[in-house]
Amino acid sequence: MKKLAKWRLFSLLALMALILSGCGKPYLSTLQPAGEVAQRQYDLMQLSTIIMVGVIAVVTIIFLIVVFRFKRKDEQIPKQVEGSHKLEIIWTVIPILLLLVLAVPTVIETFRLADVSAMDEVNEDGKTDALVINVRASLYWWEFEYPNEEIVTSQELVVPTDQRVYFNLKASDVKHSFWIPSVGGKMDTNTDNINKFWLQFDSKGAEKANELFYGKCAELCGPSHALMDFKVRAISSDEFDQWVASMQGIEEPVQPETALAQEGQELFNQSCIGCHAITPNNASPEAARVAPNLTDFADRAYVAGILENNEENIKKWLEDPETLKPGNKMSGTYGELTPKQIDALTAYLMELKVKE
C-alpha cells in the first residue's frame, strides 16, 4: 500500500511538473506573452487552436464510429454509395465559415503589427518621438544602435517597458532573424533591405522574467546559429532614461582602477580595440564596427550571449572562443594568450561598467 501511495504521489508530481512546464519559461516562451505583440499573437493562437480542436473533435467522433462500427463481420457486400450532395455541401460550407472566423482577425492583426507610421513622424530636431532602435545582425552577435540617443550597445538590448519600441532590422553578412519569443514574433534581418517592426515590453511580464528576456536568431546562418542568442533587459522608462544618460556620459573609455585591470587595458588597446569599441558613440561607420561594442560589458548578464557573465566564463571565452561558439569571427584573430594576460584582460573587462 505504501508503495502504491508513493507511486500515486510521484505521478501527481509528474503531472504537476508537466502542467507547470506546459507553458515554458517566462523569459523564453511564446505561451507566456509579455508584451502587446506577443499577446495579440497568443490570442490568435488560442482562437485558431479552439477552432482546430473543434474540427479534430468532430472528425475523431466520426472516425471512432467508423472504425468500431463497420469492422468486417460477414462476407456481405455493402451498399455502393456514390456520394451525397447534402453532406458534401455541409462539409464544404462549414469549413469556409470557420476559416472566415479566423481570416478576419488574422488580416486585422497582420496590418496592426505592421503599423510603423510612428517611425516616419519626425520632430523639429529631425528625430522621432518614438523610441527607435537599429538592430544589426552579424555572425554570431547583435548590435543595437539608438539613433536618437546616439549610443551603440551590443548583445544586450536595453528597452523601456510599457511603450512601443520600433526597430530597424538588417544583417551585415548573411540573413538572420530577430526573435524575442515571449515579447513578440520575429522578423528577418535581410542583407538586401531594412525591415521595420515594433514590439512592446510589459512591465508585469518583465517582472516575471526577472527583467531579462531571451532573444534568438531564428534563421540558419552557419555553425553557431544555435548560439546566436541575445538578451533583452526590459526596465522602467525612468531607469531606461538613467541608463541612456549614463551611457551618453561616457565620452572617453572607462578608466580601470586596479593595477591588474590597467595592465589589461594596455593589452586591450594593443589588440582588441581594433574591432571592439569601448565608447558608446557611433561616430565610426557600420562597416568598421566589426565586433560587439563592449562599453557596458560588465553590466551585461551574459558573455557572448550564451554564458553567465562571471570571471570564470570570461576567461574561458578569451582562452578558446572557437569551442564555445564554432565559426565565430573572433577565433584566430589574436595569438595565444598567457594565463596572466587572460587574468589581466578579464579584470579589465569586469570593470567596464556604466551603471552607478
Partner 1 sequence: MSTYAQKKGFGATVWDYLTTVDHKKIAVLYLIAGGFFFVVGGLEAMFIRIQLAVPNSDFVSAGMYNQILTMHGTTMIFLAAMPLLFGFMNAIMPLQIGARDVAFPFINALGFWLFFFGGVFLNLSWFLGGAPDAGWTSYASLSLASEGHGIDFYLLGLQISGAGTLMGGINFLVTIINMRAPGMTYMRMPLFTWTTFVASALILFAFPPLTVGIFLLMFDRLFGSNFFVTAAGGNTIIWEHLFWIFGHPEVYILVLPAFGIFSEIIPVFSRKRLFGYSSMVFATVLIGFLGFMVWAHHMFTVGLGPIANAIFAVATMAIAVPTGIKIFNWLFTMWGGSIKFTTPMYYAVAFIPSFLMGGVTGVMLASAAADYQYHDTYFVVAHFHYVIVGGVVFAILAGTAFYWPKMFGTMLNETLGKITFWLFFIGFHLTFFIQHFLGLWGMPRRIFTFLEGQGLETGNFVSTVGAFFMAAATVVLVINIIITTVKNEKVGNDPWGDGRTLEWAIPSPPPFYNFKQLPLVRGLDPLWIEKMEGKKGMTPAEPLGDIHMPNASFIPFVISFGLFVAAFGAMYRLDYGWGLPVLIIGLLITFGSMFLRSVKDDHGFHIHKEELIDEDDKGVKA
| Beta pairing, strands 302-303 & 176-180 | unpaired
Phi then psi for residue 355, to 5 deg, are -65, 140
Q: Determine the interface stretch with partner 1 among 103-111, 149-157, 238-246, 334-342 (rule: CB under 8 A).
A: 103-111
Nearest-angstrom CA–CA distance, 185 and 112: 13
Candidates 132, 152, 206, 221; binder of partner 1 (CB under 8 A) is: 221
What b/e sequence results for 203-238 when a residue is b if at least 16 CB atoms lie within 10 Å of its CB, and e otherwise?
A: eebbeebebebbbbbbbebeebbebbbbbbbbbeee
Q: 21: Cβ–Cβ under 8 A, 6 or more apart, which residues?
A: none
31 binds partner 1 (CB under 8 A): yes
Q: Which of residues 172-211 bind partner 1 (CB under 8 A)?
A: 173-175, 177, 179, 181-182, 184-188, 190-193, 195-196
If the CB atoms of residues 70 and 124 are measured against partner 1, the closer one turns out to be: 70
Q: Which of residues 307-336 bind partner 1 (CB under 8 A)?
A: 326-327
Q: Determine the interface stretch with partner 1 among 96-104, 123-131, 252-260, 293-301 (rule: CB under 8 A).
A: 96-104
Q: Determine the interface stretch with partner 1 among 123-131, 171-179, 271-279, 280-288 (rule: CB under 8 A).
A: 171-179
Q: How far is the CB of 338 from partner 1 (least distance, A)?
A: 27
73 binds partner 1 (CB under 8 A): yes
Candidates 40, 289, 300, 315; binder of partner 1 (CB under 8 A) is: 40
Nearest-angstrom CA–CA distance, 91 and 274: 66
Q: How many CA atoms lie within 13 A of 123 on its CB side?
A: 7
Nearest-angstrom CA–CA distance, 268 and 260: 12
> What is the H or E stretch that residue 344 is in?
helix 339-349
Q: 101: Cβ–Cβ under 8 A, 6 or more apart, which residues?
A: 47, 51
Candidates 3, 4, 19, 71; binder of partner 1 (CB under 8 A) is: 71
239 binds partner 1 (CB under 8 A): no
Candidates 13, 114, 122, 259; binder of partner 1 (CB under 8 A) is: 114
256: amino acid identity, one letter: P
41 binds partner 1 (CB under 8 A): yes
Nearest-angstrom CA–CA distance, 316 and 88: 66
Nearest-angstrom CA–CA distance, 234 and 275: 28
Candidates 99, 245, 259, 288; binder of partner 1 (CB under 8 A) is: 99
165 binds partner 1 (CB under 8 A): no
Q: Determine the interface stretch with partner 1 among 1-9, 26-34, 130-138, 291-299 (rule: CB under 8 A).
A: 26-34
If the CB atoms of residues 88 and 257 are measured against partner 1, the closer one turns out to be: 88
Q: Which of residues 47-66 bind partner 1 (CB under 8 A)?
A: 48-49, 51-52, 55-56, 59-60, 62-63, 65-66
